[in-house]
Structures are given as C-alpha cells and as structure tokens.
Amino acid sequence: MTTPHLLQRFVLLFSVLIAPAAWSAPLIPPPPQIAAKSYVLMDAASGNVLAEHDGDARLPPASLTKMMTAYIATLEMQRGRIHPNDMVTISEKAWRTGGSKMFVEVGKQVSVDDLFHGIIIQSGNDASIALAEHIAGSEEAFTSLMNAEAQRLGMRNTHFADATGLPNPGHYSSAHDMAILARAIINADPAHYAIYAQKYFLWNGIKQPNRNLLLWRDDGVDGLKTGHTEEAGYCLVASAKKDGERLIAAVFGTDSEAARAAETAKLLGYGFRFFETRVFNRKGDVLAAAPVWKGAARTVRAGLNADLAVTVARGEAGKLSAQTVLKPEIIAPVKQGDVIGKVEVRQGDKVIRQADVVAMESVEQGGFFRRMWDSIRLFFKGLFG
C-alpha cells in the first residue's frame, strides 16, 4: 500500500476516534436518479422542498394546468359565486376543443359539479373551457384569474395562457410552482380534494379512468393530476399520505405514462424513508395572552396565521424545540394581524425556522386615564429596566 493511502486511513481512523458524535448523526443520501427534465419533492405540512432538480425551470405543464382551473372553481364555490348544482350551457368552443374530453355536447346543460369531476378525473379540455366560461365569461378572462391566483400563491415561474394546458405560446409553469399549487389545493377544501382520488368517472355513457396510475398501485396516494403533450412529455403531480405525514411530488418531462408513475413513486418512497415532519402549532392556535399597554383590554390573543411545521431527517424531530418570543412592549391600538412576536424552532442551539406571531384580534386604545397611567408605568419601567 502506498504512503498516501496509509495517510488517508490514519486520518479517517483519527477522525472517528475524536468525533464520534458527528458520525452518529443521521445521514440523508442524495435522492435516487429520476429520469425527468425537472422534479420537486415537497413536504405538504411545512412546504419544505426535500429534493429537486431544475425545480424552477419554466416548462410546458400540459394538463397539470387544470389543477389551477379546478382550484379557481373551488375558491369561487367557497365565495358563494357559483354552486355545485348550477347548470352550465356548453358552448361550441368548449365542444370543439380537441385533446382529452369529457364528451359534453354543445347546447346541453351540465352541472358545475359534473364539470368539476370531468376536469379532475377525465382531464376534459371541453369541461375546462365550459367551467372557465361559466366563471369568467370567457376563457381569456378566466386566465386573468388564474395568473392573479398564481401570483398570490408565489408561483414565480408560471404564466397561464389557457385553461386546459394545450400548447400555447407563453404558457409555462415549473415543478416547484405546481407543488405549491398542489399544497394549496390539498389545504383549500378536503371534500373537493377527495375527488382527485376517484379512479373512474362516468359521463354521457362513457366511463373513463383517472390517468394517475399510482392510485392503483399505492393506497397512500390520493391525488393529483397527470399531463401530456408532445412538447411537455409525460408529467405528474402526486400526493401521498403515510403514518400521518403527507408528501407532494411534481415530475415534468418523463418519456412515458409508465415512467412518470415509476419516477414519481421513487421520489415519494425516498421522502417517506428519510424525512419526518413535526407540526408545532396550527393556524389559529392561541400561543399566549400578550400584555397590551394603553389599551381598552389588558391582553391580546397571540397566534399564527399559518401552520408551523418543520421537516428534518427521520429520527430528529423529537430533538426540536419551539419558543415564543413576544415584543417587550405592545402598545394599543393593535390591529388584528399585526406582528407582535416570533416563534423560533431550534435544533440544538441553531434556529432553523421562524414564524411571525400575530394579534388574533384588535385592541382599541383605552380611555384617557388608562393611557396616562400606563405612560407613567412605562416611564418607570424604562427608568429601572
């Protein structure tokens, strides 16, 4: 054996002897090789990206586009602007649209609920345009709603030019953005999200299967959507739940229907094997009654405006701790949503996540004597520390 090799072995042995703690830390291997142009693996609770390759690359999303079409419809139903039983008259444009179809007929009336199923399960281009026209008057106007919602969600590498995903100049998205959208869909409405798990939908005498093959292969998979065009290749956004944890995988540009299912399954398997998530607080949880100075009330409920969750290497979640740190002086008036502190999640001595603590209600200014008395108290508090 040469001298350099002997020296390398000595250094390795010495490092093991003097630093055993470092070697006992859990190791996360790199993700498996994924035969796709782009992919992202995201934890649904925390939003943490666990693995990615060119996740922000702008690529044609094909029928993954319909996730946003269905999401807009969900939001419109929540706002009461449309209802599942509303009847939609099918336009000639919707009826003539090529590609995958629900097989609605021009001039006939179809309920919003049936169109919703036709979009999600059958990937109907005709259903997508019919629902877009019903919501916004035209497909073109509907795309404005799509892009506004994409911007609100933080989908920075997305621009929609249609409601279907058929090839269109300037129509693009990314694996990361589609994972963000999937997370929003999952959280928006459990009843509507449940439709993504349905394996078949019968309409007009034609029973069509959901194209997400993972619904048949993995009981934990319950969504979301496939896509395919010659330009985009075979794409899939899938979500699965296992032992109370949920992951989202977005895969763009595989070579076949079988490949997109297999590559997505590899990503999900990797995530469940090597990561775990701890949820510390839910949106709306009251973390503290924060003292308020000069207010009509002495305290204000403090909480979070979003779930606080952290994803770490499997086996490490039990070592995390969280601490709420409120502003030392909260002075009325306080508006609902005002930031009045932070929650810090620590891994040992290292802060790995922070979240704003907000006022969960408003507190008006108190009367003259309350303000005067608290001003005196604050003066002496500052004087004597």
Cite the active site residues.
Answer: 63, 66, 123
Answer yes or no: are the C-beta atoms of 134 and 86 closer than 8 Å.
Answer: yes
What is the C-alpha separation between 374 and 322, in angstroms, rounded?
31
Answer yes or no: are the C-beta atoms of 323 and 344 closer than 8 Å.
Answer: yes
Place of tokens 């994803």: 311
Q: Which two tokens stand for residue 218?
A: 């993995």
Cα distances from 140 to residues 17, 67, 137, 151, 278, in angstroms, run 67, 17, 9, 17, 42
What is the C-alpha separation between 145 and 164, in angstroms, rounded?
14
**Residue 339 φ then ψ, to 5°:** -75, 120
Answer yes or no: are the C-beta atoms of 240 and 268 closer than 8 Å.
Answer: yes
Answer yes or no: are the C-beta atoms of 251 and 264 closer than 8 Å.
Answer: yes
**Selection from 246, 229, 250 nearest residue 309 by Cα:** 246
Answer yes or no: are the C-beta atoms of 257 and 228 closer than 8 Å.
Answer: yes
Answer yes or no: are the C-beta atoms of 300 and 358 closer than 8 Å.
Answer: no
What is the C-alpha separation between 40 and 317, in angstroms, rounded?
22
CB atoms within 10 A of CB 315: 11
Answer yes or no: are the C-beta atoms of 233 and 252 closer than 8 Å.
Answer: yes
